[in-house]
Structures are given as structure tokens and as C-alpha cells.
Structure 1
Amino acid sequence: MTSDMTARMLRLLSLLQTRREWSGADLAERLSVTVRTVRRDIDRLRDLGYPVDSARGHAGGYRLAPGTDLPPLLLDDDEAVAVTIALRTAAGGLTGIEETALRALAKLEQVLPRRLRGQVTALQSTASGIAWETRGPRADPALMATLAVACRDHEIVAFDYTTRRGTTTGRRAEPCHLVASGDLWYLLAHDTTKDDWRLFRLDRITGVTPTGRRVPPRPVPGDDPTAFVAARLSTAPTRYRAIATVQAPAEQIRARTPGLGTRLRPLDDHTCRLDASDDHLPHIARTLTGLDADYTLDADPDVLTHLRDTAQRTLHALNG
């Protein structure tokens, strides 16, 4: 009897979420119960915190109203697949909501039935969009979801990591936080082998394997993961150095060129400094081109040579 009532209430909640308003008679017909039973079930939903409004009279009915807290939502199979695909897309590329989408994706994929996981994988592997602008490597949303769960559960993971010099080694770490900086995602974790905090670029991580071993939460130095990552990135070595002093306010450059993160710092109200250093020369050229402002450049000889060659090819194309 209890299981029948629970199933009926879940069905009732699903109906309320699909239409703005239902009459008591319509709900009773859909659920194969009396109108009186519908009223009792509505009261039970209210006791559980669902804000169900009702209006009396011939034209009266029931509707799920906005509340102070978001109640649990029920999704059918098609809706669950669509939401998962959307969250994976958002986690991989939409500015400003990546981390929020990632948390929601981790919750949803944890409870997604096996039959739907196959649909999600098949749909995402066979459908693609046109990326008109790519500033840097993108992290795999499935990898991000796996690491997000490991961070939440404080579970040690093993993975292979490729350094900027191209060497790949096995790592074992306690994941702590996922942090976005510019166009890149980083895993902040405590390396169990080196017994020290490390930053791992997600696009260089492969073969993640949860070990099943959970550990107590480890406090991040300074108690601020984002600040800790920013400090590490500001001192991290890169292959090519390129520092631009830009003749424009930092806010103006940030608005024109999103994704600069902590690499852009104001010098005064009219100038700012951009650390465009990178391991790849084309990335440096792309970053500087996007500034759309005058600047002076302090850079390695290889950077200057690459920029001169690029400019000469452009001039040759224009004159040809």
C-alpha cells in the first residue's frame, strides 16, 4: 500500500511539473483515483515542501508554484538525456557557468540509469557543432564529472599525466578542487607520492581511475583554493615568455578579450599588463592580436621572430 501511494505521489508530482495548472478531476482521471485522494496527496506534497497552489470553485485547480527553495525535480528519460548533454556542453565551454554546470552534471550522472548513459554517449559522439573560435584545449566533460565526484567524495584517484615537455607518468592524488583559469581547467590535488600540492591541467590528464579509497578532507593552504591556484599559475614556468604593457584600461581589455583571468593586471587607470606567456607560439600571437589596443612587448627572441614572420606573411598576402 505504501509503495502504491509513493508511486502515485511521484506520478502526481511529475504531472504538476509538466503543465501550468491541473483541475482536480483531470489529476484524478490520470491517476485513477478519486478527487478526495488527489487532495490528500496534494497535502502530502506540501508537507514535503512542494509549494502547490490551489484555487477553489468550478474553474479551480492545482499548480506547482515558485518557492523559496528549489524542490527535487522529476525527469523522464528523454528529459534526463537532454539535460545531461546540455550540462556537458556548458561544463566544457560556456563562460561564467562552467563550475555550476559541473556540479549539477556530477549529481545527475551519478544517478543516471545505465540504459540512458549509452544514449548520452552515443548522442554526444555522433553530434557536433561548429566551433568558430578556439582559444585553447578543451577539457573532456566526462573527465570533469569524474573528477568532480572524486573531489566531493575525497576519493583518491590514479591517472596518467603528460607534462609540457611531453613526458607521461602515472600519478596518484587526493583531488580537492577544479578551478578554471582563462580557457584552461586545472585540478588542484595533493600528490600522495610527492606529499605536496600539485596543479594538473585537465587536458593533459588521461586514464582516470577512482581507487575507492576515501580520505579525510585536506585543508588547502590559505583556505582559498582559487587564490592558491592563481598564485601557483603566476609563478608557473612556460616555454615562451611574453609580457605586454597595454595602453588601455584593464576592464576594457577584459571585456574585449574574455578568458584572461589573473594574467591581466591593471597598472593604473589607463594601462595594464598582460602576461601572454605560453608553451605555444600561436597561442601567444592569438592572445596579442585579440587585444585591439596599442602595446609594448617584452618577450623571448623566439616569440618576436614568430610574430615578425606572421606579420610578414599577412602583409605579403595583402600585397599579393
Structure 2
Amino acid sequence: MIGTSSRLLRLLSLLSSRPSWTADELARRMEVTDRTVRRDIARLRELGYDVESDPGRWGGYRMRPGHHQIPLVLDDEESLAVTVALREAAQTGLLGDDQAVLSALLKLRQLLPARVATQLGAMDDVFEHTTRAGGLPLSPGLLAGLATACRRSERLRLSYRDAHGTGSTRMVDPHRLVFTGNRWYLVARDADRGAWRTFRADRVVRAEPTGQVVRVDDPPDAAKFVAETLTSGYPLYAVVRLHVPLDQAMRAVPPPQGVHRPDGPDATIVELGGTDVESLADRLVRLGLPLTVVSPAEVRDAVRRRALALAEHNS
């Protein structure tokens, strides 16, 4: 049984995660009785939190917009972690517009204790970053809105531009946001077509919440779904057994570039695409990992030729 304070924090988190909850839903999620939920709601109100409720058996609880939040207190390690994360976000475009991220970073750095600022300065001296791949501007506000809709399972009216600049409006049920290393993708169910889709977040013009909470049945593995979508346009595919554990294989071939499945504790099957046999063979050799090309035979032969050439060159 968790303590009262921990339970109240859990209740606050749930109330902030979607538009409304019934007492029965909250009781099931927190593994307590309806009576305990009502008592905890009363405690939150005594503490100054604006929790609204609808009367009746099917009534629900919700946080009033703009309700008072818990103050944020960070220790030294947490402050350093948040600052480093913001700097990485500014370098990679992880949170969208660089200016908004840099503004937040500068404000936070002014509040850092001297000892933490010294640690951060030492890290600045040794960190290097590669050039970020280009993409369309992405608003942090839009990204936050998409994330909130995913968390709340709230249907969106999505204004979207495809790769050719053609605009459309879709009703979608958001599931997850996936970051590929240079772009964000929204995985959502197209409500009109009843099919799962990926949408590049930087091509979303507007995402309007509808207030309708939906139940998403049998959602896909979001990261795998994005990976399969991004690799579905290649004219040639190879199936390779990398003789390394899954986590190491996923670092060598990031999920957006291949589809992975473990093959025992020390090997991983990876399917990846390429434009032609020679370029795909070159890519596999450059991985620098022990591997076996399962198929096709022409890629296996090309990798073998390169391995023999390298052996002769180094003999």
C-alpha cells in the first residue's frame, strides 16, 4: 500500500494526463476504493488544487485549466541533467525551434549554482556535435500539443502537408511520437480510413484538439512501425544476422534504418534496405561487426568479395 503523499502525487499526475476521469477509473488505476478516491480529491482541494467534478453516477473529475502546479525543485545532478538535455535539444532540433530551446537554456543557466555551472563549462570544452540534417521548422508548442494528445488519447483535427506540398485535413487518433535522430514522426490512426499512419511532425500545419477521448485498440509498436514505413521504399532489401546482442545491433543500425528482432541473447536479425547491391554491401562492411548475410545471395557475394579484398590489402 503506497503512502498518502505518494498516492496524492499519483492522483495529480492522472488528473493532468487527460480531460476527465470517473471515480471508478481512478480507483482501478490507483488500486484503491472509490471512497479513497473521493477522500483524496477532498484533500487536494484543501491544498488548493482546483479539481472540478460532475454529479451523478457517471460524473467525472478534472483539473480546472490553469490550476496550481507543484513547485519544481532540482538537486545538483538533476539541474545538470536538465541543462545538458536542453543543450542537446538545441543542437539536434529534438524539441523543434532552436530559439525557444536556447531561450530556456539561457534562463536555466543563470539560475545554476556555481559548482554546477563549472561542471557544465568543463563539458562544453570537450563536447562536439555534427551538423544537423535539414528539415522544416517545427514549433515546440506544436510538438507539445501532439505529445499531450497522445497522452490523453484525444482525437485531433490534423492539417497536414505531404512531401509534394499538398494540403489535407485528417481526423486522427494519436498514439505515439517517435524521434528518428533527425525528425519527429507522429504515429496515429486515421479515423476516416481506419488505418495506422505516420505523419512527419514538421509537416503538420495545425493540430486542433477535439475534446473527444478515444480508445485505441491493438496499437502497433510505434518505433518499429516508423522504421518499417521509412524503409519500405527501397528497391532492394537484405536480411542480415549480426552476431551481437539486440541493443548493440540497434546502435549500429538505428531503428529507423532497419527492422530488428533478437535471435538468441548474442545475435540479432536485421532487415535493411538499399538502392543497389554494391552500396548495400559497402554499408554492411562499414558496420565493422561480425555478420552473416541471410539473403539475398547477390548481397552475400558482394560482402564476401569486399571482405576478401580487405584481407588481401592488410596481409
- TM-score normalized with structure 2 length: 0.45
- The structure with more radius of gyration: 1
- TM-score normalized with structure 1 length: 0.45
